[in-house]
Copies of this chain bind each other. A is one copy, B any other.
Amino acid sequence: MSAKHFTPLVASLPSTVPFVGPEAQERARGKTFRARIGANENVFGPSPKAVAAMQEAVAQTWMYADPENHDLKSALAAYHAVAPENIVVGEGIDGLLGYVARMFVEPGVKVVTSLGAYPTFNFHVAGYGGELVTVPYRDDRENPDALIDMAKRTGARLIYISNPDNPMGTWWGAEAISEMIANVPDGSLLVLDEAYGEFAPESVVPPLDVSNPNVLRFRTFSKARGMAGARIGYAMGEAELIKGFDKIRNHFGVNRIAQIGALASLSDEAYLAEVISNVSAARDRITAIAEASGLSALPSASNFVAVDCGKDGDFARAVLGALIDQDIFVRMPGVAPQDRCIRVGAGLPADLDAFEEAFPKALARG
């Protein structure tokens, strides 16, 4: 036996990491970053209630977590006013996107997404042999009409959109997304990634309708709830769709400490509001820093800001490199013309102090 006995599909896939982590960059550089504002993490961290609950839960690590995620699902159901049958909890949105790909994608199946949208979704689709069909951004936003049209034209089984969008931070209002949901063609499922939903104004997130079998909505504790390292997210949708996850999921895949922390986090809306306000202030400051260099930043409904470096992708890549050389961890969009921007996370004041100091130098070097 050897690697040559992989299934033909798996053999055809590259060995890859969709994102190189900041730790790998630090190892390659031989020094740490002074500002970690590149992975859309929430530097304000989890609720103190969640921290306390997790610290207490550490002593219980000898126990597997409840594979049905019962308590957390019940709390989420109450929070969102849906039934527990409409919720699946999993190992972050990444893990859940992998399950969705497995449920719906096989060789020959087409999947529509935006060119330059979330690479991990693409990784999972390719991993099950799906054929990705992409639609360009328009005015730095994903293009719901074009995504739907392309799905109709190609008979795509999945359509991916993130709202607010990653990597641009742009968004559509609830009405536009509701219209998109209404227009999902028969035979397609809309994968609506709302990882950044809590950062957006209320008018951005359309009402939940879990009777609609044409959409799955993905949420996470990684962003506004500050628990990226805990690996816990959830999807909401029609009960029969949700039941599909039980056919394939790693039932004992969720960390017990994460489960308990997530549950505690849900009970601290005051802290969530504080985080959202801190993130909003940080976005404003990033915009001001861009403007101080005569540049502009895109409006953002997420916890990061796309700063338009004012020239082309090569220039922005050079600016990014010069920031990294100054120990500022940031990332940037991969596709033109969005790659004229760098993506700067809503850091702590000290993080943004460092960015403010480094950015003009990076522009000068770029």
Chain A: residues with CB nearer than 8 A to chain B?
Answer: 1-3, 5-7, 9-10, 13-19, 21, 23-24, 27, 36, 39, 41-46, 50-51, 54-55, 58-68, 70, 91-92, 94-95, 98, 102-106, 109, 120, 127, 157, 184, 186-190, 213-214, 222, 226-231, 238, 240-241, 243-244, 246-248, 250-258, 261
A204 to B64, CA, bound (A): 26
Judge whether B104 and A229 touch: CB under 8 Å: no
- Which residue on chain B has the smallest CB distance to residue A127? B248
| Nearest 4 Cβ contacts at the A-B interface | A229-B256, A3-B240, A23-B66, A15-B246
* Number of chain copies forming the complex: 2
Can you show 25 pairs from A to B with CB atoms below 8 A apart? A1-B157, A1-B189, A1-B190, A2-B214, A2-B241, A5-B104, A7-B105, A7-B109, A10-B104, A15-B244, A16-B246, A19-B67, A41-B64, A44-B62, A51-B59, A58-B58, A61-B230, A62-B227, A62-B229, A63-B228, A64-B228, A64-B229, A94-B251, A98-B250, A230-B255
Prevailing SS type, chain A contact patch: loop
In the complex, which residues of chain B have a beta carbon less than 8 angstroms from the beta carbon of A61? 45-46, 50-51, 54, 226-230, 261
Q: Chain B residues near A248 (CB, 8 Å)?
A: 10, 13, 127
Interface centre among A39, A188, A190, A256 (most CB of B within 10 A): A256
> Taking the nearest CB of chain B, how far is it from the CB of A343, in angstroms?
15
Complex Cα distance A55/B56, Å?
A: 8
Is there contact, CB below 8 Å, between A1 and B213?
A: yes
- Flag if A243 contacts B91 (CB, 8 Å): no
Q: Are the CB atoms of A231 and B252 closer together than 8 Å?
A: yes
